[in-house]
Chains A and B, each alone.
Chain A
């Protein structure tokens, strides 16, 4: 397989891998490194790639596992500390900025969710995967996915309301 061929296969979903990595690792640099690592791993397995039914799903599972391993390791523990410092709680006066702010709130709220909920929410609401695909990617039962997703969505809603009310008061 040539490099261009490989890139044509990988190109449609590389951003999805990156967004998934960023959802889990929070830091952009970490997510970039993780995505790069995954793509290099895929490249080294390129001879086997034709036999995979769904390269995207395979790559997504790889990314998920890689990032979870990463979070377990000590290295990532340090990074986590660094990136929780960055929360900027300055409240803007202008309505426009406020609206933009509350969009950023969602990101912060999502960062506080348990990993399982993060992943389901990311796959469903950001990437719009079907439930069957999420089942395979996360190795979860359909009911478990729905419960997790519902819980995640409700948590985000509640936290968002809390922040909103706090902002007004």
Chain B
């Protein structure tokens, strides 16, 4: 490449009128060994661009389908809910005595209650005598008054 041509390209380069191909020519020229002394000042610029392009992205990118996972979480939640619903038995409150006890049990309970009532009445009958006593004492007391 003629020196004159390179000088012209450099001028165009700083005016930003070079094409990509022309810039490539400049990069090749400056990466070579035969650089004219008065142009050497530009060498670091073009060599840097070349070096900068060699940098690589080496980090691993974790590409996991996170969305699918979340979808399955809701499915699992619903499944658990359904299982819970299936095994759920409400503790039923018996509505009548007949539901909870056998007829024999009820019968014997009735008998016991009747016996209790009878004996209770027996006791209260005795209290009638006391009433009589009360009447006479009252008479006595009112006379005194």
Closest to B20 in A: A128
State in angstroms the CA–CA spacing of A14 and B14 once bound together: 29
State in angstroms the CA–CA spacing of A36 and B42 once bound together: 35
CB contact under 8 A between A125 and B16, given known A32-B59, A35-B57? no
Contact (Cβ within 8 A) B48 A103: yes
Instruction: For B52, list chain A residues within 8 Å (CB).
Output: 19, 107, 126
Closest to A6 in B: B63
Contact (Cβ within 8 A) A103 B51: yes
Tell me the interface secondary structure of chain A in the complex. helix
**Closest CB in chain B relative to A151 CB, distance in Å:** 9
Contact (Cβ within 8 A) B41 A160: yes
Chain A CB within 8 A of B49 CB = yes
Chain A CB within 8 A of B77 CB = no
Closest to A7 in B: B63
**Closest CB in chain A relative to B68 CB, distance in Å:** 12
Interface string of A32-49 (1 = CB under 8 A from B): 100110011001100000
Contact (Cβ within 8 A) A150 B15: yes
Contact (Cβ within 8 A) A40 B63: yes
Contact (Cβ within 8 A) A40 B55: no
Interface string of A14-25 (1 = CB under 8 A from B): 110111001000
**Closest CB in chain B relative to A155 CB, distance in Å:** 10
Contact (Cβ within 8 A) A35 B14: no
**Closest CB in chain A relative to B122 CB, distance in Å:** 92
* Residues B34-54 near A (CB distance < 8 A): 41-45, 47-49, 51-53
Chain A CB within 8 A of B129 CB = no
Chain B CB within 8 A of A79 CB = no
State in angstroms the CA–CA spacing of A103 and B10 once bound together: 18
CB contact under 8 A between A127 and B53, given known A3-B63, A40-B63? yes
B13 contact from A36, A103, A153, Cβ within 8 A:
A153
Instruction: For A140, list chain B residues within 8 Å (CB).
Output: none
Chain A CB within 8 A of B17 CB = yes
Instruction: For A84, list chain B residues within 8 Å (CB).
Output: none
Chain A CB within 8 A of B61 CB = yes
Chain B CB within 8 A of A161 CB = yes
Contact (Cβ within 8 A) B48 A153: no
**Closest CB in chain A relative to B127 CB, distance in Å:** 93
Instruction: For B134, list chain A residues within 8 Å (CB).
Output: none
Contact (Cβ within 8 A) B44 A150: no
Chain A CB within 8 A of B4 CB = no
Chain B CB within 8 A of A157 CB = yes
**Closest CB in chain A relative to B66 CB, distance in Å:** 8
Contact (Cβ within 8 A) B55 A22: yes
Contact (Cβ within 8 A) B45 A106: yes
**Closest CB in chain B relative to A125 CB, distance in Å:** 5
Which of B15, B16, B51, B67 gathers the greatest number of chain A CB atoms within 10 Å? B16
